[in-house]
Chain A
Amino acid sequence: MANFIVSVSPHLREKTDTASIMRDVLIALAPALIASFIIFGERVLLVVAVCVATCCLCEYLFEKITKKPCTVRDCSACVTGVLLAYNLPVGIPLWQAAFGSAVAIVVVKMLFGGIGQNFANPAITARIIMLLAFSGTMTTWTFPDTVSSATPLALLSGQAQGELPSLTNMLLGLHGGCIGETSAIALLLGGAYLLIRRVITWHTPVAFIGTVFVFTLLLGEQPVYQILSGGLLLGAFFMATDYATTPSTNSGRLIFGIGCGLITVLIRVWGSYPEGVSFSILLMNILTPHISKLTRTKPFGGVEA
């Protein structure tokens, strides 16, 4: 008797798997790391290393303790670590970075069931928790020559005094801000890579950035500065496109992006925080199940019951 494998079709699969998608995200994040290393110095690497190591270790230990299959190899914890690090100032104490990473993985991701099950973006939620817990260190922006440097957003909102950096410096990232968010060029490069590799679709970033542009233009702000400053590009390309916590239909992604854009501008212009990207994404994360339900696809030839 032949011992053939009998299984349901299809018997052919595309090569892309979860790990290869996450690897693509890591590759897309690389230019920002290089830019940040050049701008802020080698401490960048230390912070990123601590975050990534803590995230991976927490996931490993959690799965070990709860006797679940180990998923560290899918690289998603690694992505969370990098994203969280990118959202921290370079001078962050390492223990705080590690604490944030543990919160991201254990509380936000694993306790909700692990990859694909969490409703909120782990890196963003952890960042918000850190912002509230360690408001001092989380808002101290240091620049290469250890001079405190206000972020363009603080300058735009009038919360800090000083001169706005030039547009060239904004593009290159030569201004105050979190590790991975300052270099617009590096982030755009990474975003383009994600689009080309079809890891993400254009819907969320275009809707997000477009909304911010139009809304700030209408409000008489400086739209180009608004887009290039803060975590907008990082958020639009890398965090508002997170699979598990955003809608999976294209129309849903458009709504998600527009919502993020609106909330971001509202907070930036009228809120007491200079930055609103994290809050906007978290808020929209919470709305995601409802957006998903509203934007269900219409089956081909389906007849209403």
Chain B
Amino acid sequence: MLKKKLNGVHAPHRKNTAGDKPQRIPTPSLVTIPMSMHIGAPAKPVVSVGDEVKVGQMIAEANGFVSASIYASVSGKVKKIDDVLVAGGQYIPAVTIESDGAQTAFEELTPPTVTNTDEFVDAVRRSGLVGLGGAGFPTAVKLKVNDLSKIEAIIINGAECEPYITSDTRTMIDDADFVWEGVKLLQKYMEAKRVIIAIEDNKPQCIKNFREKCQGETGVEVKALPALYPQGGEKVLIYNTTGKIVPEGKLPIDVGVVVLNCTTLADIAKFIKTGMPLVEKCVTVDGSAVCQPKNVIVPVGTPLKDVFDFCGGFKKPPKKVLYGGPMMGIAVPDLDVPILKNTNAVLAFAEEDAVLPKSTACIRCGRCIAHCPLKLMPAEIESAYKAKDFELLGELKVNICMECGCCAFVCPARRPLVQVNKLAKAGLRDYQKQQKELAEKQKAREEAKKQKENTTNG
């Protein structure tokens, strides 16, 4: 069977909210919806200041192939459209809507007619769905496969390997029927020969749920995977479920695989049933500073402050607040930032869990190498980056690093290895671009010289 196991780390699970059915928070008075909550081009606003909008009404349309439309998450009036600072550090236009509290649904919403693959993919495109596991890749782009026979397997990602987060767990418990309907849709419209529902074995109830549903079915199976972070990383998951290796620079579809997050799939099914696009998210609220950790259902664009207030506020002053889990989550500067489409958790940590560890000299223990799921050598990458040796960084393949954080998690010297990898990746990209340009210039020069020689000879 599988030749070699991929490495990882035993991060603490801390799934404190797994048994907590999500509660809907009161409608926020104001939502700020950035035009970029996905990978690709930011969406283009189609409303203007002063417009009345209703829940599910389009406020921005996808701008290009790799992009996603955005819909109003509250009913009310567009208050302003201006640039906001997003977690990535860029300023992105955002639509701010003042809620009227009524949450009136947009009248024109009707369930889409889906009778064939094109209509299915088009419906997914109109749902505004992006990868809800965190990456935020527009889902319709993933499903736009020219030749359906290329798809050997579709993997439903229910690994949820990040500590704390339980929003996917809740989907697989509360919305199991929608997930199942999604599986049926994939079988019907994507002609999926094999659907694998992959769940980490720390969620026995979810595994049991789907094992029961799979009974007597063909072409769909549940794979219980050991709880080893980063089990849910796309390349790791594909390897651990199918044994396929996605080569550097290729996409899963190039090896005949499509991976969809379980909540994304449930939302596809929901959209096709109701016609309501992605306007709200189930979000896990947890962390050592939070009074009452729980799962909540939140309109997209709700400021984090409203979300934490609903959870009883803070028992200790928060010192670090994250979008997502502690292994890959993004630290935010304040509580005014909004819940995004791909936010699956917001965590707030008190001082003792927030302070940066002091880093000391690398002792070359090799733990980072032993734990890297992609078999990279973070310690070597760090010294190559220090020496600005980009040739070596290319050989060490820093470009395939997925920034899962295992290396920094285990490092006894507390080296900022992920940070270095990020910098090294960016540096390598620039270097390779430069090298390419240089080579092109050289070629152009040589050709010019040749031409000149030809003309003089002639």
Any A CB within 8 A of the CB of B330:
yes
Contacts of A136-181 to chain B: CB distance below 8 A: none
Q: Given A2-B335, A248-B366, do A117 and B361 touch, yes or no (CB 8 Å)?
A: yes
Any B CB within 8 A of the CB of A21:
yes
Q: Given A248-B364, A297-B375, do A302 and B409 touch, yes or no (CB 8 Å)?
A: no
Q: Is the CB of A300 within 8 A of B349?
A: no
Q: Could you give, for residues 354-377 of chain B, a 1 whenever the CB lies within 8 Å of some chain A CB and a 0 otherwise? A: 111100111111100110111111
Contacts of B4-38 to chain A: CB distance below 8 A: 6, 9, 11-12
Residues of chain A within 8 A (CB-CB) of B419 are: 8
Any B CB within 8 A of the CB of A220:
no
Any A CB within 8 A of the CB of B224:
no
Q: Could you give, for residues 319-354 of chain B, a 1 whenever the CB lies within 8 Å of some chain A CB and a 0 otherwise? A: 111100011111111110000000000000100011
Residues of chain B within 8 A (CB-CB) of A305 are: 394-395
Q: Is the CB of B362 within 8 A of A1?
A: no
Shortest distance between the CB of B326 and any CB in chain A (Å): 4
Taken together as a complex, chains A and B put the C-alpha atoms of A8 and B361 apart, in Å, by 19
Q: Is the CB of A18 within 8 A of B363?
A: yes
Q: Is the CB of A14 within 8 A of B9?
A: yes
Q: Could you give, for residues 23-58 of chain A, a 1 whenever the CB lies within 8 Å of some chain B CB and a 0 otherwise? A: 000000000000000000000000000000000000
Q: Could you give, for residues 383-404 of chain B, a 1 whenever the CB lies within 8 Å of some chain A CB and a 0 otherwise? A: 0000000000011110010010
Shortest distance between the CB of A25 and any CB in chain B (Å): 12
Of chain A, the residue at the smallest CB distance from B421 is: A8
Residues of chain A within 8 A (CB-CB) of B329 are: 9, 11
Taken together as a complex, chains A and B put the C-alpha atoms of A37 and B6 apart, in Å, by 45
Binds A, one of B59-67, B116-124, B244-252: B244-252
Taken together as a complex, chains A and B put the C-alpha atoms of A74 and B11 apart, in Å, by 25
Any B CB within 8 A of the CB of A210:
no
Residues of chain A within 8 A (CB-CB) of B330 are: 9
**Tally of contact residues, B, Cβ under 8 A:** 69
Q: Is the CB of A9 within 8 A of B362?
A: no
Any B CB within 8 A of the CB of A16:
yes
Q: Could you give, for residues 174-210 of chain A, a 1 whenever the CB lies within 8 Å of some chain B CB and a 0 otherwise? A: 0000000000000000000000000001000000000
Q: Is the CB of A74 within 8 A of B321?
A: no
Binds A, one of B266-274, B290-298, B410-418: B410-418
Contacts of A259-305 to chain B: CB distance below 8 A: 292, 296-303, 305
Q: Is the CB of B248 within 8 A of A301?
A: yes
Taken together as a complex, chains A and B put the C-alpha atoms of A292 and B377 apart, in Å, by 11
Q: Out of B364, B375, B380, B408, which one reaches A10, CB within 8 Å?
A: B408
Q: Is the CB of A300 within 8 A of B364?
A: no
Taken together as a complex, chains A and B put the C-alpha atoms of A13 and B405 apart, in Å, by 9
Q: Is the CB of B363 within 8 A of A115?
A: yes
Residues of chain B within 8 A (CB-CB) of A71 are: 360-361
Taken together as a complex, chains A and B put the C-alpha atoms of A5 and B354 apart, in Å, by 7
Shortest distance between the CB of A112 and any CB in chain B (Å): 12
Any A CB within 8 A of the CB of B77:
no
Residues of chain B within 8 A (CB-CB) of A17 are: 360, 412-414
Taken together as a complex, chains A and B put the C-alpha atoms of A55 and B30 apart, in Å, by 64
Q: Is the CB of B369 within 8 A of A10?
A: no
Q: Is the CB of A20 within 8 A of B416?
A: no
Any A CB within 8 A of the CB of B318:
yes
Q: Is the CB of B369 within 8 A of A12?
A: no
Any A CB within 8 A of the CB of B163:
yes
Of chain A, the residue at the smallest CB distance from B10 is: A14
Q: Out of B395, B396, B400, B416, which one reaches A301, CB within 8 Å?
A: B400
Residues of chain B within 8 A (CB-CB) of A20 are: 412
Q: Given A20-B412, A302-B400, do A12 and B326 touch, yes or no (CB 8 Å)?
A: yes
Residues of chain A within 8 A (CB-CB) of B6 are: 300
Taken together as a complex, chains A and B put the C-alpha atoms of A118 and B329 apart, in Å, by 36
Q: Given A10-B405, A300-B400, do A116 and B374 touch, yes or no (CB 8 Å)?
A: no
Any A CB within 8 A of the CB of B235:
yes
Shortest distance between the CB of B420 and any CB in chain A (Å): 9
Taken together as a complex, chains A and B put the C-alpha atoms of A13 and B397 apart, in Å, by 24
Residues of chain A within 8 A (CB-CB) of B245 are: 300-301
Residues of chain A within 8 A (CB-CB) of B353 are: 11
Q: Is the CB of A4 within 8 A of B334?
A: yes
Q: Is the CB of B394 within 8 A of A11?
A: no
Residues of chain A within 8 A (CB-CB) of B362 are: 116
Q: Out of B321, B327, B380, B410, which one reaches A16, CB within 8 Å?
A: B410
Taken together as a complex, chains A and B put the C-alpha atoms of A5 and B329 apart, in Å, by 13
Q: Is the CB of A296 within 8 A of B377?
A: yes
Shortest distance between the CB of A125 and any CB in chain B (Å): 17
Q: Is the CB of A18 within 8 A of B375?
A: no
Taken together as a complex, chains A and B put the C-alpha atoms of A27 and B373 apart, in Å, by 31
Q: Given A243-B364, A244-B363, do A9 and B375 touch, yes or no (CB 8 Å)?
A: no
Q: Out of B11, B163, B369, B422, which one reaches A249, CB within 8 Å?
A: B369
Q: Is the CB of B412 within 8 A of A21?
A: yes
Taken together as a complex, chains A and B put the C-alpha atoms of A7 and B246 apart, in Å, by 30
Residues of chain A within 8 A (CB-CB) of B190 are: none
Taken together as a complex, chains A and B put the C-alpha atoms of A21 and B375 apart, in Å, by 23
Of chain A, the residue at the smallest CB distance from B411 is: A13
Shortest distance between the CB of A261 and any CB in chain B (Å): 21
30 A-B contact pairs sorted by A residue (CB < 8 Å): A4-B318, A4-B331, A5-B319, A7-B331, A8-B416, A8-B419, A9-B405, A10-B326, A11-B329, A12-B326, A13-B409, A16-B412, A17-B412, A17-B413, A20-B412, A76-B363, A115-B360, A116-B364, A117-B361, A243-B363, A244-B364, A296-B377, A297-B377, A299-B376, A300-B239, A301-B245, A301-B374, A302-B397, A303-B248, A305-B395
- What are the nearest 7 A-B pairs in CB distance? A248-B366, A10-B405, A299-B397, A12-B326, A300-B374, A8-B419, A11-B326
Residues of A within 8 A of B (CB): 1-2, 4-14, 16-18, 20-21, 71, 74, 76, 114-117, 201, 243-244, 247-250, 292, 296-303, 305
8 more CB-based (< 8 A) A-B contacts, given A11-B349, A13-B409, A17-B360:
A9-B327, A10-B408, A11-B322, A116-B361, A249-B366, A297-B369, A299-B375, A300-B375
